[in-house]
Chain A
Amino acid sequence: DIQLTQTPSSLSASVGDRVTITCRASQSMTRYLNWYQQTPGRAPKLLIYGTSILQSGVPSRFSGSGSGTEFTLTISGLQPEDFATYYCQQSYSDPDTFGQGTRLEI
């Protein structure tokens, strides 16, 4: 199984900040890296798929990049509604796996 390790596990930031979350994979993979946002009591919401493709309806302050074993999610200009937990997920190799999550706090 491909293991995904997210750093940091938690992050404190302020409205207007730019933050980056990293997802490192235990083996090299391409394209099939996706990012989700989850708020308490809600199902995860897809933000980015295929490493860098913005899901329809997601604000452009969210962006994704990366290749090989290192991938990043960047939020430019944090808004109050962005304080949540973020997960990466790979579908490059069965079984699909998720990172352990990054909690973004005010």
Chain B
Amino acid sequence: QVQLQQWGAGLLKPSETLSLTCGVFGASTSDHYWSWIRQPPGKGLEWIGEINHRGRTKYSPSLKSRLSMSMDTSKAQFSLKMTSVTAADTAFYYCARARDHGDFDSWGQGTLVSVSS
């Protein structure tokens, strides 16, 4: 059974860089794409982007200029960095596995990232 466990700083000031990492257990990171999705409190889901084991990335056009994703297959981990955060980036951030239909079948537990001065 695939399990994703994520970690990273939960409280940031405006203009700082968001940094989250997701560990993959029970599956190889050499298969599938590995994704990040966020959800502002009380609101809907927004796809952020994804990466595969070769480091090929796809980013949301609206966030692309601030995003960087990386993959460490030796540690079975992938990471998200988002620069210049504002209050609008306050959200629960989830890592997830994307399968062949683009469906997200396994999710991390979520990390609430709050941006406040």
Contact = CB atoms under 8 A, between A and B. Distances in A.
Q: Do A and B bind each other?
A: yes
Contacts of B102: 32, 34, 89-92, 96
B52 to A, nearest CB: 14
Contacts, number: 63
**Which of under 10, 10 to 19, 20 to 34, or 35 or more describes the interface residues of A?**
20 to 34
Interface of A: 1, 31-32, 34, 36, 43-46, 49-50, 53, 55, 87, 89-92, 94-101
15 contacts: A1-B61, A31-B101, A34-B101, A34-B103, A44-B104, A46-B103, A46-B105, A49-B105, A55-B103, A55-B105, A89-B104, A91-B102, A96-B47, A97-B47, A99-B44
Interface stretch (B13-21, B24-32, B107-115): B107-115
Interface of B: 44-47, 58-61, 94, 96, 98-99, 101-105, 107-110
Given A43-B110, A95-B58, A95-B60, A50 B47 contact: no
A46 B61 contact: no
